[in-house]
Chain A
C-alpha cells in the first residue's frame, strides 16, 4: 500500500499490506495475520521442492539485477561439503529507494520468515541480514523481532519444532553505498573494506568466508512466504505485460510528486499511471520533466518515455532504462538537470570504493567538469569529453558503480542537451561559483 498514504485501488497489496500497522511488528501480531505458516510448511518440504516452487513462480531479484531467485538458489551445491550461508541484502543504499526500510520497520517477521525459508532451502546454517548503518530504527525493530523469534522457537536449534537449526544475525553496515553490491557486502560482513570482488568465483561457489553463499534482497525474500502460501501459479499470474516479469513490485516514488511513498503494483504497471494516479501527480503548476524508474543508477527517461514506460524488467529495458531497485525518482520542470547530474556524479565519486582506476578517477573528474559547466565556464568540448569519459567508465570495472555514474551523465546530456548548452553559451546564469 502507498505508505505513508492510504492504499490506492490500483495497487496490488501483498508485501505492503501491514505497512503502518504497528501490531504486525510483534510475533503474536504476525502469527495472527497468518505469519509463519509458510515457514512451518516449508520446513516439512524437501529443500529442492521449495526451490522448484520459487522457480515456477518466476520471482526475480528485487535488488536491481532481476536475476531469477529460484535459479540462484539452485546454484548452491547440492551436496554439502562446506557451511552454506544466506545473506539478506538490507543495505538499501540506492538513492530513490526506501521500500526495504518499510518492510523491516513494519513487518520484520515477514522478512525473518522469508529468510528462514530461503535459508532452509539452500541448506544454510546462518543468515546474515546486512542492514545499512543509517537505518537505526529498522535495526532496532529487526533486532527485537529476531530476539522474539528466538524466544518463540521460530529460530534456534529446533526451528518451529522441526528439529532443524536456523540461526540469524544482523550485521550493521557503517556508511558505504557500495556495500549494497553483493560481493562488497560479503567483504563487509567479513570485516573488510566494502570492495566488490572480481567474479568468478561467484557467491554460490565461494561467497562469504569463502563458502557457498546466496544473497537476496529484502523484498525478494519477503515475497517467498506469499508464494509458498498462495502458490507459484498465483504469483506467476501477477503480470500485466511480460510473462518474464511476475508478481508485485514495491515502487518507492520520490522527488517531485505530491504523494511520495511506497506503492505496490503488479509487474507491468504503467509508470505514468503510477505517478499521476497513485502518487498524486506533479505539484500544482508543475509539469513532469524526467524520471529515473529504478533508482539513481539507471538512465533517465524524458517525459514521453516516462508516460509510455511499463514497470517491469523488460518494459524498462525497452525504454532504454532499467527497473533496478524500483526507486522512482521524479523530476518536474523546476529541476536543473545539469545541477542534478552533478549531484549524482558527486554521490558516485563519494561512494567509489577506490579499487578500479576508471571509477576512482573518472567519477571525480566527471564532477569537476560538471561543476565547471555549472560555473558558466564550460565549453561544448566538455560535453564530448563527458561522453567519452562515460564510455570509458562503462563495462570496464569490477562492479557497475562507474557505469551508473556514466548512465546518469550520458542520459542527462542526451535528453537535456539544451540545459547543458544554456550554461555553456551563457543563456543561463551560473548555478555555482567557480571551483
Chain B
C-alpha cells in the first residue's frame, strides 16, 4: 500500500490525498463528506445508474457521477454546489413519483436511504400531481425475502449481488422504462445460501426480511458489534435488539473477514440468544436438589471445592467460549494434572460466497476453535470424557453435555458454568450462571487466527454474569488474582501471559481485530 501513488484533490474545500484510481465518492468519505448515493455500494461492481451521486467537478463539461469518476491530481470537486444539489433534488423527485411513501408501515423506515436523502436535500413537495402511481403486487422471492416493487428504486444492488458475488443470477431487471422491476423466473426461488444480503443491500424497503417483518421500528433498535458464532469464519455482525430481545442479525463491515456480507445460516443463528430456560442464579445442592443462592455463597463454595480437589482435573468447554474465559479457566486449574477438551460440530461442505475470496460458511460450526487450540484446549472430547471418573475436579464451561453422564460420577467434584442447565449437570457441586455471547464482552479467534472482539448486546437474565467475570471472581476468592472489571482487563491479562497473544491488547484489537502471531514466530519475537 505504501508504494501506491497518491492523488491530491480538493472536495468541498478539504484537501485529501487518496490512492490513484479511487473514486470521488470514496475520496469524499475521507474528506468527511458522504455523497448521497443509491446504486453504489463498496462491495459491488459500479453500475452508475441511480445518478444520485452527481457532483460538480471543475473543468468537466457536465456533472459527474462520483461513484464512477476516478480522482485526478488537483481536481476540485463541489458536492453541494447549486447545480449538483439541483440535480440530486431532481433525482429524488423522480424516485418519489412512483414511490408509495408508505413509511409508516415500511420496515425500512428510519434506516431508509431514500428517507435520509430526501430529508437531507430533497424538496418538500412533489410536482407529480394527481397521476396514479405505478402499482405491482408484493412478491415472495422465496426463503426469507419479500419484494415490494412499489418501493423499488431499481438501483440493481440486489441483481449485482446475486450475479457477481453469489454467481447465481436468480434476480434480474425485467421489462424496460418505468415498467421495469426486479424479477425472478418461476422455476427458481431466491434460495442461495447468501441471498439474505440483498435485504441489507437494498437501500429502501423494497427487499425485506420475512423473519424481521414488522418486528421493530429502526429507531427502537439498539445495535451492538458482535461476532457470528455460526461457524469459524468469524464474520463481523451487528446484533440488533429491541427491549433486550435480539430481533435481527446483520453483517458489520470488515474488509479482512466478511467484507459486507454474512450467510443466511449466520443471519438466522440468533433465536437461541433469546432462550427463556436460562439459569438465572447460582445454584448449590440441597437435600431437595439444587437451590438458588447468591454469588458470595456460590463463589465461596466453588473455591472450597477447588481447594478440596487435587491431582487430575478435566475441563470441558464450549468452542464458543471467549478467549478470556478459556484463559481464566486454564489459570484456575493450574497445579492440577489437567485435560482440557472441547468438541465441535462439523458439516460436510463449505458454502462459499464465490465473489469474495476466503469467505464461506465453514464446516467448523463454532466461533472460537482457534482460540481454544491456542490456549491449550484439544479437540479430544471423547478421550477426556473417558477419564472423567479418574478426575477429582471437573470444570464445565457451557458445554451442553449431551451424552455425558456426569451424574454417575460419585467421587468427582463438578463445577458447572453454563447458560442453561443440562440434566447431567444436576449433580454438580456448584452451578454458576453465565452470560451468552450476546450478553457480554469478549473475544474470539477465527480460523485465520484473527482475534476479534464482541460487545454486549443485551442484559443477561437474573444474576448471570460473563464467564470471565465468574472465573475471575473465583480466582480472587482463591486469593490467586485481583478482581476483574472488564473483558478488556481479562484479555490484557491473557495477552501478557500467553505468547501467541503477545503484543495484543483489548484496545488495539479495535473494531476489526488483529491476527495472532504464529506459534513458530513467538520465540523470534521475544
A349 to B176, CA, bound (A): 9
B127 touches A396 (CB 8 A): no
B94 touches A362 (CB 8 A): yes
A358 touches B176 (CB 8 A): no
- Minimal beta-carbon separation of B453 from chain A (angstroms): 40
The B71-104 residues at the A interface (CB cut-off 8 A) are 86-87, 90-91, 93-95, 97-98
The B167-187 residues at the A interface (CB cut-off 8 A) are 173, 175-180
Central interface residue in A176, A353, A357, A392, by most chain B CB within 10 Å: A357
A361 touches B48 (CB 8 A): no
- Among A19-27, A164-172, A306-314, A363-371, the stretch that binds chain B is A363-371
- Minimal beta-carbon separation of B435 from chain A (angstroms): 48
CB contacts (< 8 Å) of B68 on chain A: these are 198
Interface assignment of A93: CB less than 8 Å from any CB of chain B: no
- Minimal beta-carbon separation of A50 from chain B (angstroms): 32
B62 touches A354 (CB 8 A): no
- Minimal beta-carbon separation of A392 from chain B (angstroms): 3
B177 touches A364 (CB 8 A): yes
A349 to B47, CA, bound (A): 21
Contact for A356 among B46, B51, B62, CB less than 8 A: B51
Interface assignment of A352: CB less than 8 Å from any CB of chain B: yes
A361 to B52, CA, bound (A): 14
The B19-46 residues at the A interface (CB cut-off 8 A) are 46
Evaluate whether A358 and B91 lie within 8 angstroms (CB atoms) in the complex, with A198-B68, A351-B177 already known. yes
A361 touches B127 (CB 8 A): no
A396 to B50, CA, bound (A): 10
A363 touches B177 (CB 8 A): yes
CB contacts (< 8 Å) of A193 on chain B: these are 173
Evaluate whether A357 and B52 lie within 8 angstroms (CB atoms) in the complex, with A362-B94, A365-B128 already known. yes
Interface assignment of B245: CB less than 8 Å from any CB of chain A: no
B94 touches A354 (CB 8 A): no
CB contacts (< 8 Å) of A397 on chain B: these are 51
A360 touches B178 (CB 8 A): yes
CB contacts (< 8 Å) of B176 on chain A: these are 176, 350-354
CB contacts (< 8 Å) of A353 on chain B: these are 176-177
Evaluate whether A354 and B46 lie within 8 angstroms (CB atoms) in the complex, with A392-B90, A396-B51 already known. no
B49 touches A355 (CB 8 A): yes
B49 touches A398 (CB 8 A): yes
A349 to B175, CA, bound (A): 12
- Minimal beta-carbon separation of A201 from chain B (angstroms): 11
- Minimal beta-carbon separation of A165 from chain B (angstroms): 34
CB contacts (< 8 Å) of B94 on chain A: these are 357-358, 360-362, 365, 392
Contact for A352 among B51, B52, B178, CB less than 8 A: B178
B173 touches A357 (CB 8 A): no
- Minimal beta-carbon separation of A67 from chain B (angstroms): 16
B127 touches A385 (CB 8 A): yes
Interface assignment of A395: CB less than 8 Å from any CB of chain B: yes
Evaluate whether A360 and B51 lie within 8 angstroms (CB atoms) in the complex, with A354-B173, A396-B90 already known. no
CB contacts (< 8 Å) of B65 on chain A: these are 198
Closest to B62 in A: A395
A364 to B133, CA, bound (A): 11
CB contacts (< 8 Å) of B47 on chain A: these are 198, 355
Closest to A379 in B: B129
CB contacts (< 8 Å) of B131 on chain A: these are 365, 368
Chain A 333-363 against B: per-residue CB contact (8 Å), 1 yes, 0 no?
0000000000000000111111111101111
Chain A 107-119 against B: per-residue CB contact (8 Å), 1 yes, 0 no?
0000000000000
B90 touches A352 (CB 8 A): no
CB contacts (< 8 Å) of A352 on chain B: these are 176-178
Central interface residue in B46, B49, B63, by most chain A CB within 10 Å: B49
The A66-118 residues at the B interface (CB cut-off 8 A) are none
Closest to A392 in B: B90
Contact for B178 among A176, A361, A396, CB less than 8 A: A361
Closest to B87 in A: A396
CB contacts (< 8 Å) of A361 on chain B: these are 94-95, 97-98, 178
A193 to B49, CA, bound (A): 14
A364 touches B46 (CB 8 A): no
Interface assignment of B366: CB less than 8 Å from any CB of chain A: no
CB contacts (< 8 Å) of B87 on chain A: these are 392, 396
Interface assignment of B162: CB less than 8 Å from any CB of chain A: no
Chain B 253-282 against A: per-residue CB contact (8 Å), 1 yes, 0 no?
000000000000000000000000000000
A303 to B86, CA, bound (A): 35
A361 to B154, CA, bound (A): 11
A395 to B51, CA, bound (A): 11
A360 touches B177 (CB 8 A): yes
A395 to B48, CA, bound (A): 14
The A380-395 residues at the B interface (CB cut-off 8 A) are 385, 392, 395
Closest to B156 in A: A355
The B378-429 residues at the A interface (CB cut-off 8 A) are none
Contact for A396 among B46, B63, B153, B175, CB less than 8 A: B63
Interface assignment of B54: CB less than 8 Å from any CB of chain A: yes
CB contacts (< 8 Å) of A385 on chain B: these are 127
- Minimal beta-carbon separation of A431 from chain B (angstroms): 18
CB contacts (< 8 Å) of A396 on chain B: these are 51, 54, 62-63, 87, 90-91
CB contacts (< 8 Å) of B180 on chain A: these are 354, 360
Evaluate whether A354 and B51 lie within 8 angstroms (CB atoms) in the complex, with A360-B154, A365-B128, A396-B63 already known. no
Contact for B95 among A355, A357, A363, A395, CB less than 8 A: A357
- Minimal beta-carbon separation of A48 from chain B (angstroms): 31
A364 touches B63 (CB 8 A): no
Q: Which 9 A-B pairs have the closest CB atoms?
A: A392-B90, A354-B180, A361-B94, A364-B178, A352-B177, A198-B48, A355-B49, A395-B62, A357-B94
Q: Write 24 A-B pairs (CB below 8 A) sorted by A numbering.
A: A193-B173, A198-B48, A349-B178, A350-B176, A350-B177, A351-B176, A354-B154, A354-B175, A354-B177, A354-B179, A355-B47, A357-B49, A357-B52, A358-B51, A358-B91, A358-B94, A360-B154, A361-B97, A364-B178, A365-B97, A392-B94, A395-B63, A396-B87, A397-B51
Give A contacts to B, CB under 8 Å: 176, 193, 198, 349-358, 360-365, 368, 385, 392, 395-398
